[in-house]
A = this chain, B = another copy of it.
Amino acid sequence: MKAEWIAVDWGTSHLRAWAMQGETVIDHGQSENGMARVAKGEFQVALLDLIGDWLGTTPIDVIACGMVGARQGWVEAPYSATPTAPIPVAPVRVPNTDPRIRAFVVSGLKQLDPPDVMRGEETQIAGFLFKRPNWDGVLCLPGTHTKWVQISAGEVVSFRTFMTGEVFELLRSQSVLKHSVGDGWDEAGFSDAVNDALSKPEQLAARLFELRAADLLHEQDPGTARARLSGLLIGAELAATRAYWLGQQLAIIGADKLADVYASALGQQGAFVETVSATQTTIAGLLQARNLTRETA
């Protein structure tokens, strides 16, 4: 099946692509060829491997967002500085591509003080705002590196990145806690831990080894340990983002298990949270980015 254009989300660990006809997805594919696995000079090969069947004889647009625009990526797409519209400039064209494609990469955003960067989330934000042009509030984008983004009048005013997902995974799989954290879940344990981290954030460092000791001394269930570890780390994130979510209009971009966990933590603090699909906002954002390439062509 031939595409009219191709939407691509190319992050650190995944490469996802959608064959598009206007605003409609007609096919999709994904591979493990994220940035972390693709060497400089091999980006086009990795991409064509995934999208080759969608290409015809006339060149079509490929619009990509994510870490692929980093300095070590396919082409460097320089950051735009906040405050700014999520996609304020046309995507950067990749030079010397296969003649069947015209490839473009969306620029990320930077905030100078406190220093912060994003690549990929700006596209989701653009997609979200396209559907809700007058939406003001705070977006939470959960992931390995969760972003909190303050939106006003169509612009990204400020944002902060949290390594919560990465820290959770390292502690769960690589630290001494790996002996005590297992499968399963305990919603009450999660809630307790979120509350604990929010009400006594200065005690966070004392809580981690407790998960190991509670196993050795009290045979704490491995699923409870998992939920408590998640709750402590997300609670610490909520303590640091209180000004972002307290009394604000709030939406989570994401509709997976991790988004549910964030929604649960915020909900128990009395925040009303809406969740929207990350895939749909990504594709909608890439469509906006494509329109920008055509306006400036």
Q: A residues near B, CB below 8 A?
A: 79, 110-112, 114-117, 145, 160-164, 166-167, 170-171, 174-177, 201-206, 208-210, 212-214, 216-218, 233, 236-237, 239-242
What residues of B have a CB within 8 angstroms of the CB of A145 in the complex?
A: 176, 209
Instruction: Please pick, from B166, B206, B212, B240, the residue contacting A206 in the complex, using a CB distance under 8 A.
Output: B240
B210 touches A115 (CB 8 A): yes
Question: CA–CA, A217 to B210, complex, Å?
Answer: 37
B204 touches A240 (CB 8 A): yes
Instruction: Please pick, from B176, B201, B237, the residue contacting A163 in the complex, using a CB distance under 8 A.
Output: B176
Question: CA–CA, A236 to B170, complex, Å?
Answer: 19
| Min C-beta distance of A172 to chain B, whole Å | 11
| Min C-beta distance of A234 to chain B, whole Å | 9
Known contacts A116-B209, A213-B116: A203-B170 contact under CB 8 Å:
no
What residues of B have a CB within 8 angstroms of the CB of A116 in the complex?
A: 209-210, 213
A213 touches B176 (CB 8 A): no
Q: Which residue, A204, A214, A237, has most C-beta atoms of chain B within 10 A?
A: A204
9 extra interchain contacts, Cβ-Cβ under 8 A, other than A162-B205, A203-B240?
A110-B217, A115-B217, A161-B209, A163-B177, A163-B209, A167-B171, A201-B202, A204-B236, A205-B236
B112 touches A217 (CB 8 A): yes
How many chain copies?
2
Known contacts A117-B213, A204-B204, A239-B205: A166-B161 contact under CB 8 Å:
no
Across the two chains, which residue of chain B brings its CB closest to A218?
B115
A175 touches B164 (CB 8 A): no
| Min C-beta distance of A31 to chain B, whole Å | 21
What residues of B have a CB within 8 angstroms of the CB of A201 in the complex?
A: 201-202, 204
Q: Which residue, A163, A166, A214, A236, has most C-beta atoms of chain B within 10 A?
A: A163
Q: List 10 A-B contacts (CB under 8 A).
A: A117-B212, A145-B176, A145-B209, A162-B206, A166-B175, A170-B171, A170-B174, A201-B201, A202-B242, A205-B237
What residues of B have a CB within 8 angstroms of the CB of A237 in the complex?
A: 205
A115 touches B213 (CB 8 A): yes
What residues of B have a CB within 8 angstroms of the CB of A218 in the complex?
A: 115
| Min C-beta distance of A7 to chain B, whole Å | 25
What residues of B have a CB within 8 angstroms of the CB of A174 in the complex?
A: 170, 174
| Min C-beta distance of A153 to chain B, whole Å | 24
Instruction: Please pick, from B112, B163, B209, B239, the residue contacting A162 in the complex, using a CB distance under 8 A.
Output: B209
| Min C-beta distance of A70 to chain B, whole Å | 9
